[in-house]
Amino acid sequence: MRTSFAIGIDVGGTRIAAGLVERKGRVVKDARTPTPTNGPFGIVDTIIEAVEHMSEGVHPSDIAGIGIGLPAQIDFLKQSVEFCTNLPLAGVDVRSLVLSRVRHEVTIDNDGNLAANGEYRFGAAKGARDFIMLTLGTGVGGGLFLDGEPYRGSRGMGGEVGHMVVQMDGPPCPCGGKGHLESYLGRPAIAARGVKLAGTAKGRAVLDEAAGDISQVNAEAVIKAALKGDEAAREILLEGGEVLGRALVGLVNLLNPRLIVIGGGIGEACGFLVERAAEVMQAEALAGRRDATFTQGELGNDAGILGAAALAFDEHDSREAIHR
Ligand SMILES: [Zn+2]
């Protein structure tokens, strides 16, 4: 039976987004709520409430299923959450917990993979068989599409571009590693640099964005000051762009993608950061690979829910094909 809708859920470090999505990628209805901070069951409850809200008024047989993106390393075949740095979901059987309380099939995947899937199906990467997606947000996520397929690796956990080492013995990463891309570009990393800056004479603009309270300096304060032209704040983000460019040199040399899509809240707000990354990549990558095109994501905050919904449609259609 051909269903009309799927529900896509995108669980982020700061908010949970949900959408009711048509097959062609139109978001019919969507909602966003802050990610609860009261533990894993609070997060699961919020996901279920979002599903209920999205399914209101739609006949259950019209819904193909639910796709959920989590900021976690997921064993896609087992549908288990193996590791999760920014939320307390490691080892939590999110799929079964949701499945036991809803009327539809549930599939979970890494949020970066799903953002890439969204851009591939409906956005900036439509028709690109080889591309790399990076999402710059609370964490640095990403997804690889190679030869028209998401690359998942042996256990489905591949594509963690945010945890490539870009500096030996560099700053600590939330994952426990050192000198990873996320140690420079995740929100906590940018906030930490902002706090350091705000304590100095050059940090006035950043401090102003936090209403003069250094304990309130966060990544957004740095970004706002930078977008208003503050040089010191811009420098923090340009350094992030430089590090991102270096990481991309490695990826482009290794994979020879046609396209690099930069999404996520920080990636979309800071065009100058992306430009710096592109300059570094184009200057340093092996000749012949420098023509990889850079683009910002087209789907904005909807990339995750659209990718999750597309996954739910695919899973539904392959179940139907088996039954036929
Ligand atoms: Zn890491």
pLDDT single digits (tens) 84-105: 888 999 999 999 999 999 999 9
State the span(s) of the chain assigned CATH 3.30.420.40.
5-118+301-323, 128-297
What length does the chain have? 324
208-229 residue pLDDT tens: 999 999 999 999 999 999 999 9
Cα distances (Å, whole numbers) of residue 42 to 16, 74, 123, 136: 12, 20, 32, 25
CB 137 within 8 A of CB 264: yes
User: Given the structure tokens 């999205």, which residue do they identify?
Assistant: 54
Domain 5-118+301-323 classification at class level: alpha beta
Q: What is the pLDDT of residue 268?
A: 84
297-307 residue pLDDT tens: 999 889 999 99
Q: What percent of the chain clears pLDDT 70, i.e. is strictly above it?
A: 99
Question: Separation of 321 CA from ligand 1 center, angstroms?
Answer: 39
Question: Separation of 222 CA from ligand 1 center, angstroms?
Answer: 22
Question: Separation of 90 CA from ligand 1 center, angstroms?
Answer: 15
227-242 residue pLDDT tens: 999 999 999 999 999 9
Q: What is the pLDDT of residue 288?
A: 80
Residue 23 carries which side chain, given as an amino acid letter? R
Domain 128-297 classification at class level: alpha beta
Structure tokens at 211: 């209403």
Question: Separation of 168 CA from ligand 1 center, angstroms?
Answer: 13
- 32-41: long-range pairs with CB below 8 Å, 24+: 32/301, 35/11, 35/87, 39/88, 40/87, 40/88, 40/89, 40/92, 40/94, 41/97
pLDDT band at residue 14 using 50, 70 and 90 as cut-offs: confident
Question: Separation of 255 CA from ligand 1 center, angstroms?
Answer: 21
Please identify every residue whose CB atom is under 5 Å from ligand 1, which is an ion: 163, 173, 175, 177, 180
Question: Separation of 178 CA from ligand 1 center, angstroms?
Answer: 7
261-279 residue pLDDT tens: 999 888 888 999 999 999 9
